[in-house]
Each structure stands twice: as structure tokens, then as C-alpha cells.
Chain A
Amino acid sequence: MHLKKSLLIAIALGIAAITAWELYWRSKGYQPGLEETKDLWAVQREKVENSGKKDVLLLGDSRLLFDIQLNDWERETGTRPIQLATPGTTPLPAFHDIVKNTDYSGNIVISVTPIVFFSTTNPHAEFWHRIQSRVDYYKKRTLANQLNHFLDIPLQQNLAFLANDEELWADDLDLKTLLRNIQVGDRLEGMKMPPFYRFQEIEIDRNLKMTERTATDTSFANTVKNVWGFYGQQAASGPPPDKESVLSFFLSDLSEFKSRGGNVILVRCPSSGLLREVESKMMPRTEFYDILVEAADVPAYHFEDYEQLNQFYCPEWSHLSAQDASTFSTELARILIKDQVINN
């Protein structure tokens, strides 16, 4: 067997093929970038262990993740927040983890997007399971997991074809997604999820921004709106909000956190268009947000109550563009400082 010859051919062809693959996707507009993964989250979560009174944690769903820009917040307050908000999740499991498993007693900003916040305490529900799995991963990750992440980062930052996010975007470039996108025939019944394309860019410390394309290309933004529409239809046929259980669970942890000197700030981030109308109709402020604020007895900021926070239009109805997020973060930080909720 002339294995040496075979090996040389394999190496040469392998390098040529993967180079061509990389160039092809770059020619299609893909650029190298990080993925929003459980490993990035775990690295931030680890920072909480050594955080103090003046630090700020951000917990909740994607609105807080898109809308708070860490650079702007840091510029205003002098403190760079630890970004732990995660798309499509309730803040309850992460807050519970911080309260029960750490002695952190600084500031926590919690996002209150009613449709997510009041959804459930069922551990099998997607909004809950998604963040709980990250909490569990943080506790169970191995040295090998940490080393893999460390080695993976420079590859993600330099190779465009490495696009394989945990969100399972329709425009990911891993083989499984490429095959999943092939449609032959149509044997399935019922609603089908529209394609959900990546509309974000994330940095190493989970500072996340909406892509320029989403902010400027309305037809692209419409593809994201279609996905919200699909989720809305699903939610309409799903279980109703579980307000009582959620309040009971949250207030119990909140009481414990406050008793050790911790400071919680509730924030309702902006939404727009039809989504905002649906949210207001399905979960009226007076029946959900206001009840929570009254029961929690902590500083709370609803974008509708502040002129400087109520000036934005979300391109895809749910999140702010990078530029608006920068302004929103600055204005919110200034309000918090002015109210002496946090110090600079």
C-alpha cells in the first residue's frame, strides 16, 4: 500500500477543499464571528463568583441582551455589566441560581418581557429549560469543555464557514443545517416555522448587537417578524401565563436576595408595531407588570414611562438597532444614576 502517497493527496485536497469552502462563503457575504453559546455564557457566569457590591448583572431574555450595550453602560457608570441575558428565556432560573449558589449581593438588572417573564415555572417548558440547561452546564462543565472553548474561539474569529449557533439559524453553515434546508416534498401537517435568519453579532463578553442589515433592510427584518408571528400563534394555542406561580417563585428568591443586601432593578425594554399591540392585549400592563412591580417593591423602569426611553422603533418589533440600543443604554444608565439606584 502506498499510504504516504494517499496521505499527501488527502492533505492537499483537504486543504484545497476547505479553503475553497471558506472563500465561497465569504463571497456570499459571510464574515467570521463568534456564536452565542453556552460556553460564552458560562465564562460570564463564572465572573459572578468574584463580583462585588458595585457590579451589575444583566438577567433575562433577548431584549436585555440586544438593548443594553456594555460599552455605553460602562462609559456612564464606570462598571462593565456581566451579560447573562439569554434569548427566549425567563430570568427566573438564572436568578434562582445566583441567589442560591453564590453570595453575590450587588446589582441585578432583570428584564421583564411579560410574555416570557410570566410564562411558566415548568422546568420542561422551553423558556425555562433553555436557561436552566446553561445553569446546569456551568455547574457540570469539564476541564475539557473549557479547553475546547478556549481553542474554539480563535477559529470562530477567523473562519467564516464556522457558523453553527445554538439558536439553529437557518443560515448557519454546518452540514446538518445545510441538509435541513433542503426541501423535498411536503409530508408534514400543521404550522411550519418560517426560516429564522441570524440578525445579531456577539462579542467575547456577550455584548450583542443587531446587525446593520436587520436595521436597514425591511424585507430582511420582515423575515424575523414572521418568526415572532409563528411564535405568537404557538403561544395562543399553548398554556396560559402562570402568573401566580411565577410571582411566588420570583418573590421568594427576591426576598432572600434583598435580605443579604442585594439590589434588583426591573426593566421593561421597548417593543413596537403589531408585537407591542399583541403584548398589550394579551398581557395588559396593569394585570402583569404593575402587579409585579408592586409586589417586588424594587426600582422598576418601563420604557413607556420615560420620554428618553420611549423614542425608539424596533426594526423587527422586538429589539433595538445597535445605534438605538447604544442610546437606550446611555439613557437608562443616566436615569438609574440620577435615581441613585446605582452609583457611578
Chain B
Amino acid sequence: MLFNSLSFVLFLTIVLILYYAPLLNWTNKKRMLLLSSYVFYGMWNPPLIILLWISTMVDWTAGNQLNQEERPAVRKMWLLLSMFVNLGFLAFFKYGDFLLENFIALANAAGFEYQPYKMDIILPMGISFYTFQTMSYTIDMYNKKIKPARTFLDFALYVTFFPQLVAGPIVRAKDLITQFYEPKKASQNQFIWGLFLLTLGLFQKVVLADVLLAGTSDSVFSPGQTLSFLDAWTGTLAFSGQIFFDFAGYSTCAIGIALMLGIILPDNFMYPYASLGFSDLWKRWHISLSSWLKDYLYIPLGGNRHGITRMYAALMITMLLGGLWHGAAWTFIVWGGLHGIYLILERLQKQYLPFKITKWNGIFLAFTTFTCVNITWVFFRAREFETAWSMIKSMFFLNPEGAKILPTFQMIQVLTLITLLFLTHWGMRNTNVKEVASKMSPALLGVGWAVMIFLILIAQGTGEQFIYFQF
């Protein structure tokens, strides 16, 4: 079920009525939320709920065993079992076709004629998110960082909680499970603020991403064309804005919906396009994934504890796997690799060419970071390397005869919006929406809110799927 759909409006209304009606005690409210979460997921593909159940059962069992067991070898076995099941699901459902394609390519390159049937495996929505979430529980249990969930219901709800089930934020057990222990009810202000965040998220997704940017990005990244400099940049900037508004919009909706239930989810985006460098970027973009990768991949790989070479290797491996997490294609790996290179170059710069960031050079640095990030988006968005290379060449004036395909107004629309996006991120770097809203007059906030509602309604979105659902 998509947040930007009529069925979700109906679904959320029913859930909120059941949650706040004086019919159920807290345990039954949690059961209702769990059942609702399965309905939310099952409305897309009912049989794939079984995967959620398996993941839940395996990590619940592993967590309990890790809590009781003291023998290191047995503890390691339970950890490996959890990782085998969760990563096995990912490997089969998400990377099965990719692995097979590459195996065929290798076999053919080695002279073996091998052409098996394509498996056409269905990708369970949100599998990358909920497997990472359940794995974090078991790894934290293994490292004795957390206590086990008090009840199976609390754990199952942690794995399945519908606001963040299919596209995050990827919440740690310590931040979410403990919230289920005591009855939760949003205060009036929390409930209204949650509703505001839901509106803001839908506005980002439906109006800004789908209406104002997606069409341009789709046209420009269609394969088989050679574009002019301006068209290539406009299309790339459009995708840059689209993916931010799409994903940040989803996270904002998720945070808002949870807040309407009295549950607090962490921020996932902090104005990333005004980042001062790439390490700053990854503290601001998809925060829950980057912190997951740091805690469960980069640090276990050695982090910065074993010398510079090992640190760079850990950084690169983390970013390459981070790229692969986003999708089963070499273009995503290149995207991750470019970010790895950026991070290494930044560390080298800080070591050998350090400079102080002032308010004068800050915006220039932010703009440079944003520009470099845009180059990586080309590989993220393009479905094939040919398209990506053609776009990169156009963006660097290497296709002087490139075609003009975007109408003038569409270019003005995209460039204006992206300029506003960058300046807004710059202006909001050290604050947040709530702080800004609290300084506004209630009337002005109400007018802004009404404008967003009106634009969402007249956008008449056709229920476009969120980009990150495919990851």
C-alpha cells in the first residue's frame, strides 16, 4: 500500500479510530497495529508476508538464544544463522537474477555456452529495509548492546511496524522496541504535527517529485539519445531533486504517521544538499542506512583503527556494498564506488590541504559537493552504462551536437525548483522544520499547509510508487 493512495487514507483512518477508540487495551492495540501492518504489506502481495514471518521468527529465536547462551561458538552460530537467513533472502530475491546474469556472462566469456531460463524473481517490497532492521537486532544482541524484546508481540511489531516497514527509516531495536513497552498516545500537538509531517511528505512526493521533476528526469534518462549540455544537466538535476523529494517525502510521511500514534521515529534526512563535503553528506542523507553501514560494516571491517590503508579499504568496501544495497546492477556499484573515492579524496584533502570553513567559502563548498553528488546520480539513475556515459559526456561539453529535448518552460521549472532546493537546504542546515514552524505565526503556517493540501489534491497523482520501494 502506498502512502499516496486512497486506500491508505482509508486504512490509516481505520487504524487511528481503532487505536484511539476506548475499545482495546495496550496489548490489543499492539496486536491491532501488527495485524494492520500485515494488511498494509499484504495489500501488495499477500504470500510475501511469509518472508516477514520467517525473518521475524528467525531473529526472535536467535535473539533469545543469544541472550541465554554464553558459549562463544554457539553464540556465533546463532548470529550466523540469522545472517544466513536474512542475507540469503536478499541474495535470492534481490540479487538472484543479477548473480545469474553475471555468471552467464563469465561462463560465456570463458567459452562455455550457458543460457539458463531467466528466473524472473519477484522483489519483495522493502526487503532490504526490514532484513537490515532485524539483522541489527540480532547483531546488537550478539554484541550484548541491547536486551531482548520483552515479548514476541513487541519484536514482531518492531520488524513490521507499517509506517517504516517498506522504506525506512531503518530503526534500531533500542530506539523502537522500548517504545512499545508502555502505552503510547500522541498528545494533541504531536498528533497535529504528525498530520502536518504527513502532508509535507506527500507534498514532497506527489507535487515536487512526481509532478515537477519526474517527467524531466524520465525523458532525459531514456536510453539511445545524445543530449545537449543543458538538457543533460537539467535532467540530472531533476533526478537529484526527484530522488530527494521522493525518499525524504516517504521518511517524512513515516515519521508523521508514527507520531500520530505517539511513536517517535528518528530523522532520516537533514538537508543533505547543503553538505560541506562527503562525510557531512552521509550524516545527512539516508541517515539510518549510513549509520547502519558504519556500525555493522565499516567498524567491523576495522574502521580507522588499523592504519590508513585498511581504513580506505574499509571505506571503499562499505560504499561499494552500500551501492549494491540500492540495486542489483553494476551502475549502483559504480555509484557507491564514486562516493567511496570522494570520501577518500576528502580525507586526503583534510590531511594534506586543510582549510577552515567560513561562512564565505561554505556555500561554495556546499555547491561543489552538490555538483559532485549530481555526477554520481547519473550512474544511479541510468539503467545502462551507455546511457550514463552519454550523459556524462554531455555534461562535460563532449557532445556539442547533442539534441535539445526539453521545452523551455520545463527547464525553467526544474532549474528554479532545484535552485530553491539548494538554497533552502543551505538556509536550513543548522535548524529543522519544527524549529522554523515554531517561529512562524499559526496563521501563516496554516496558509502554507492549506497550499500544500490544495496542490496535492490538484496534482491528481496516479499513485506513483516511491523510488526506494525497489531497493
Contacts and interface: CB of A to CB of B under 8 A. Distances in A.
Interface of A: 1-14, 17-18, 21, 142-144, 147-148, 151-152, 155, 161-164, 173-176, 178-180, 182-189
Given A142-B43, A184-B409, A189-B404, A9 B447 contact: yes
7 contacts: A4-B188, A6-B192, A6-B443, A151-B7, A175-B460, A176-B459, A179-B212
Nearest to B192: A3
Interface string B1-27: 110011100100000000000000000
Interface stretch (B133-141, B361-369, B383-391, B448-456): B448-456
B341 interface: no
A6 B188 CA distance: 13
B292 interface: no
B106 interface: no
Contacts, number: 138
Nearest to B409: A184
Tell me the interface secondary structure of chain A in the complex.
Answer: helix
Contacts of B99: none
Nearest to B453: A14
Given A175-B455, A184-B408, 8 more contacts: A1-B193, A8-B446, A143-B43, A147-B10, A162-B460, A179-B409, A182-B409, A186-B408
Nearest to A185: B408
A9 B445 CA distance: 9
B453 A10 contact: yes
A151 B13 CA distance: 14
A151 B5 CA distance: 10
B225 to A, nearest CB: 13
A155 B440 CA distance: 35
Contact of A174 (B192, B411, B412, B460): B460
A13 B442 CA distance: 13
Interface in B453-471: 453-455, 457-460, 462-463
Contact of A5 (B410, B442, B458): B442
A6 B7 contact: no
A21 B455 CA distance: 11
A190 B10 CA distance: 47
A173 B211 CA distance: 13
Given A148-B6, A148-B463, A175 B207 contact: yes
A176 B456 CA distance: 11
B407 interface: yes
B401 to A, nearest CB: 12
Interface in B403-422: 403-413
Interface string B366-380: 000000000000000
B88 interface: no
Kindly list the 4 A-B residue pairs having the minimum CB-CB distance in the complex, ordered from nearest: A9-B446, A13-B450, A10-B449, A185-B408
B427 interface: no
A185 B408 CA distance: 6
Contacts of B195: 7
Contacts of B450: 9-14, 17
Interface string B192-206: 110110010000000
B28 interface: no
A146 to B, nearest CB: 9
Interface string B38-71: 0000111110000000000000000000000000
A338 to B, nearest CB: 45
B437 interface: yes
A18 B457 contact: yes
A63 to B, nearest CB: 27
B454 A17 contact: yes
A2 B439 CA distance: 11
B215 interface: yes
B358 interface: no
Contacts of B430: none
A136 to B, nearest CB: 12
Given A5-B443, A9-B442, A143-B42, A164 B460 contact: yes
Given A148-B6, A152-B6, A174 B43 contact: no
A17 B461 CA distance: 18
Nearest to B212: A179
Nearest to B190: A3
B400 to A, nearest CB: 15
Contacts of A151: 6-7, 10
A187 B5 contact: no
Interface in B97-132: none
A231 to B, nearest CB: 20
Nearest to A7: B192
B249 to A, nearest CB: 16
B211 A179 contact: yes
A148 B7 contact: yes
Contact of A183 (B210, B212, B409, B445): B409
Nearest to B2: A144
Contact of B454 (A4, A6, A14): A14
A10 B45 contact: no
A3 B44 contact: no
Contacts of A11: 450
Contacts of A14: 449-450, 453-454, 457
A164 B462 CA distance: 9
B226 to A, nearest CB: 14
B181 to A, nearest CB: 28
A188 B210 CA distance: 23
Nearest to B1: A144
B45 A188 contact: no
B438 interface: yes
Given A5-B443, A143-B42, A21 B458 contact: yes
A7 to B, nearest CB: 5
Given A1-B189, A142-B45, A175-B211, A148 B404 contact: no
Contacts of B455: 175
Contacts of A175: 207, 211, 455, 458-460
Contacts of A185: 408-409
Contacts of B215: 176
Contacts of B196: 3, 6-7
Contact of A144 (B5, B192, B404): B5
A11 to B, nearest CB: 8
B211 A6 contact: no
A202 to B, nearest CB: 17
A272 to B, nearest CB: 34
B447 A13 contact: yes
A187 B193 contact: no
A217 B457 CA distance: 32
Nearest to B122: A140
Contacts of A3: 188-189, 192-193, 196, 442, 445
A155 B449 CA distance: 23
Contacts of B42: 143
A147 B442 contact: no
Contacts of B5: 144, 148
B43 A144 contact: yes
Given A3-B196, A5-B446, A184-B408, A161 B6 contact: no
Nearest to A3: B192
